[in-house]
């Protein structure tokens, strides 16, 4: 591991954004986390939600889980147990089918 490597979150954010815009669902998920946590960019929960949704709709189980959390904890048109349950169920199905891992951070 390169211990002298400096973290450049803004540069990383730009690369994740390019990859996400080109259809990489893992990049979409990580871009969502960047927007949610303000890493490499300003916090923007609307953009985080949009990228979670895009990644979830394209089969990313981690994004499905986080999107379910958005629906469970969100307000307005994002609230409601029905939408949350739908995405929790989809995430669980993906994990069972592909034996993929849902990241332990939310």
pLDDT in tens, the chain (106 residues): 455 556 899 999 999 999 999 999 999 999 999 999 999 999 999 999 999 999 999 999 999 999 999 998 875 466 667 899 999 999 998 888 775 555 554 4
Model pLDDT, residue 98: 72
Neighbouring residues of 83: CB distance < 8 A, sequence distance ≥ 6: 68, 71
User: Could you tell me the CATH number of the domain that includes residue 18?
Assistant: 1.25.40.10
**Does residue 104 fall inside a structural domain?**
no
Gap between the Cα atoms of 61 and 25, Å rounded: 10
**Does residue 69 fall inside a structural domain?**
yes
**Does residue 62 fall inside a structural domain?**
yes
Contact between 70 and 89 (Cβ < 8 Å)? no
**Does residue 27 fall inside a structural domain?**
yes
Tell me the pTM.
0.82
**Nearest residue to 70 (alpha-carbon basis) of 88, 89, 92:** 88
Q: Count of domains in the chain?
A: 1
**Does residue 103 fall inside a structural domain?**
no
**Does residue 22 fall inside a structural domain?**
yes
Domain assignment of residue 15, given as a range: 10-98
């Amino acid at each position: 591991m390169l211990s002298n490597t400096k973290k450049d979150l803004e540069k990383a954010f730009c690369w994740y954004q390019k990859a996400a815009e080109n259809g990489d669902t893992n990049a979409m998920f990580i871009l969502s986390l960047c927007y949610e946590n303000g890493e490499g960019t300003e916090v923007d929960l609307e953009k985080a939600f949009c990228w979670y949704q895009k990644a979830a709709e394209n089969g990313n189980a981690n994004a499905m889980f986080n999107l379910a959390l958005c629906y469970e904890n969100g307000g307005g048109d994002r609230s409601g147990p029905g939408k949350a349950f739908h995405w929790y169920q989809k995430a669980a199905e993906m994990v069972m089918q592909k034996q993929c891992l849902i990241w332990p951070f939310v």
